[in-house]
Amino acid sequence: MSASAPVVLVTGASRRIGAAIARRLHADGYAVALHCNRSRDAADALAAGLDAQRPGSICVLQGDLADVTVVPKLIEGTVAQFGRLDALVNNAAAFAPTAFDATGADAFDALMATNARAPFLLAQAAAPHLRAARGAIVNIGDLYAERPRADLVAYAASKAALLGLTRGLAVALAPEVRVNAVSPGAILWPEDGADPAQQVRILESTPLARLGSADEIADAVAWLLRGGFVTGEVLRLDGGRSL
């Protein structure tokens, strides 16, 4: 692995959208630090496949982003492995559909801890390295941050905080570091299943009349990391559903 290759940390990178982002950035020449929490086996399998393509280009870092002591260790571990950090993708998220009346303080705080506080603390820890590299951050938001559902009030609030954080960081870290976000619409159905009637309603309210793909999200992340005259923006990849 070339010492001059750019380095990216992707949180929640073991499966689904995070894995697609990691594969795309690795194909683009990045060395990739794969973060996982509970999905270590999936992360190790992904890492083995990518490392076989380009030895020395992958490492796996495990930890719960709700634990504030874990967050700086992810940045330290990435830099210790690769000697630099050029990009941060805050993809990891907690998702818990909960009725408004049934959402307690602990559940609310848990969503905020992973979806908003952890990206803030990661950006803080990464900032010196990203400034030195004139790098970039991409946060993965959600359509529901701006178009919430009744059973996703707390989750939507946490993702709205992440979009606010995106704009704030774009100002705080300028001009050296660009910070943007991608807000997906319907990309993958939940793994524990989704109400078929709700699936129909979602597709009927999407002008492009289909699900997006994880690879389409990865393409957008790769574009935002490459550079250009854009910072503090939220790119909606929702098939027109926000219309």
Q: Which of 156, 143, 144 is nearest to 100 (CA)?
A: 156
Concerning whether 30 is annotated as a catalytic residue, the answer is: no
CA-to-CA dists, residue 17 to 13, 30, 99, 101, 219, angstroms: 8, 17, 26, 30, 11
CA-to-CA dists, residue 65 to 46, 93, 111, 114, 189, angstroms: 20, 9, 11, 6, 23
CA distance 46 to 69: 26
DSSP symbols for 22-64 = HHHHHHTT-EEEEEESS-HHHHHHHHHHHHHHSTT-EEEEE--
Catalytic residue among 30, 82, 144, 155: 155
Sheet holding 58-62, edge to edge: 58-62, 31-36, 7-10, 87-90, 136-140, 178-184, 234-237
Alpha helices in 176-243 (DSSP H): 196-204, 214-226
Q: Which of 25, 68, 17 is nearest to 223 (CA)?
A: 25
Residues belonging to the active site: 155
